[in-house]
Amino acid sequence: MNKRYELNKELAQMLKGGVIMDVTNAKQAKIAEEAGACAVMALERIPADIRASGGVSRMSDPKLIKEIQETVTIPVMAKVRIGHFVEAQILEALEIDYIDESEVLSPADDTYHIDKTKFKAPFVCGAKNLGEALRRIEEGASMIRTKGEPGTGDVIQAVVHMRMIQSEMRRMKSLSEDELYNEAKNLQVSYDLLKYVHENGKLPVVNFAAGGVATPADAALMMQLGAEGVFVGSGIFKSGDPAKRANAIVKAVTNFDDPKVLAELSEDLGEAMVGINENEIDLLMSNRGQ
């Protein structure tokens, strides 16, 4: 394993137990940082607005990313379209701290993901099951997050994906070594990666939850289901009091197994993101990029 890839996995380790927040301008980035975000995701429109307005959504304007980089000292991440390796080259040139090859944007390629091993900058990718997670890691992702269903404020898909990944890992752990060869074939992943899961019962990279987290209770739910940290997209800046909600979610992740603290944190947060049920939406972003 090369040193750069190790360092990129290790940056993700430093983000553990933290909340990564979607922001669309420098002012929101500052609010997120002050609320205790461990990183921000710079994008032009949050997923809920991407859903509402439709059309093609692409990488953010570098100017916006630079403004956010100048405003905060925490890591700054940004999204590229699935398969759009030139957008990734541009983000790397901006010295972005993490690239999210994301199903939230319109995919640029319906077959190939970016060959992430060609980059020095780290990548995080979405996954809804173990096979997707390991295929992204094979391609060079140094961090994984559940896909969930972004921009809905509905946590169900994040729960389904996290449970799926965790239960598949438990199953891999229980297989005998000779059974792994066949599983590697079924999942379309390398034997070595699957053997790591078999031996360690976990992914070889950090695994966050994302897609539909809107409340401190949602964040704590994902942590109790085995997430190592949480991405919150539309949930914060689509709510009544973003600074307060953001801070409550940060503390909910720290105190994810303490219901008394969670009760206090959940109090009087103002209006939550209205949200849409996952079965009321036409576009399932989580089906993008298998």
Partner 1 sequence: MIVGVLALQGAFIEHQKMLEQLGVETFQIRNKSHLDKPMDGIVLPGGESTTMYRVLRDQNMVEPLKKIINDGLPTFGTCAGLLLLAKEVDNYKSEYLQTMDIEAKKNAYGRQLGSFKTVGEFNGQKDTPFVFIRAPYIVETKNDNVEVLAIVDDKIVAARQNNQFVTAFHSELTDDLTVHKFFVDMLK
Catalytic positions, written as ranges? 79
Of residues 199, 197, 216, the one with CA closest to residue 257: 216
Q: How far is the CB of 121 from partner 1 (least distance, A)?
A: 7
Our CB check for partner 1 shows the closer of 29 and 114 to be 29
Contact characters 87-106, partner 1, x per CB under 8 A: -----x--xxxx--------
Tokens of 69: 């980089």
Does the footprint of partner 1 cover residue 67 (CB under 8 A)? no
Please tell me the distance from the alpha carbon of residue 243 to that of residue 37, in angstroms, as a whole number.
11
Does the footprint of partner 1 cover residue 121 (CB under 8 A)? yes
Please tell me the distance from the alpha carbon of residue 196 to that of residue 42, in angstroms, as a whole number.
33
Of residues 275, 267, 262, 165, the one with CA closest to residue 221: 262
Does the footprint of partner 1 cover residue 39 (CB under 8 A)? yes
Compute the half-sphere exposure of residue 7: CA atoms within 13 Å on the CB side of its CA. Answer: 8
Query: Between the CA atoms of 172, 206, 93 and 120, what dihedral angle is there, to the nearest 10 degrees?
Result: -60
State how far Cα 250 lies from the chain centre: 15
Q: How far is the CB of 87 from partner 1 (least distance, A)?
A: 17
Contact characters 124-163, partner 1, x per CB under 8 A: ----------------------------------------
Residues at the interface with partner 1 (CB under 8 A): 3, 6-8, 10-11, 13-18, 33-39, 69, 73-76, 92, 95-98, 120-122, 247, 250-251, 253-255, 258, 261
